[in-house]
Amino acid sequence: MVEIIPKLAPERPLWQEILFYLGIVLLVAAIGAYFGLGYLQKEGTDKIQSLEEQISAVRTAEVTALKKDLSAKEEKINNFSNLLDNHRITTALFPFLGQICHPQVQFLSLEFNASSQGYTVGIPAKAESFRALYQQLLILKDQDLVTKMEVAGIALGKEGGIDFKLDLSLSPKIFKFE
């Protein structure tokens, strides 16, 4: 049957009312927090990017100064390396000559010439005999550091012995700085 007299709608309990309004407040708070946190994130990202740009600008100046300083030091090191590589120790010739000199041969003087073709040494010398001269030439021939050898002006000396002149071409290895 159809009821003609309307009945009153049942009232909701208070706890349901509180939960309903609390849910609406939480929904509005969540939506606000979403947009608020998005704004704060964007602002933080912009601030970080700005600080990174400032840091990179400062670093760029520092890096440029450091690179300039390092390149100057690198150039000095390279120059020093070139000096060491190209430096020749001509005094190394004397111990070498002392080692190869026959006991009966006397070197009288020394003419040293360094040129683009190599190193040459002219040595006027005196030997006690032809045998000593021959042995001296054999000693020089066996030396790896002597690249070319010429003997000139062989003559009998006024006081005895044999006068001669040695012209030696030497390997650059003897003059290397090690």
pLDDT of residue 19: 94
**If you average pLDDT over residues 118-133, what whole number do you get?**
87
Contacts of range 98-102, beta carbons closer than 8 Å, 24 or more positions apart:
100/139, 100/140, 100/143, 101/136, 102/127, 102/132, 102/135, 102/136, 102/139
DSSP letter for 107, please.
E
pLDDT tens figures, 12-66: 889 999 999 999 999 999 999 999 999 999 999 999 999 998 888 877 878 888 8
pTM tops 0.85:
no
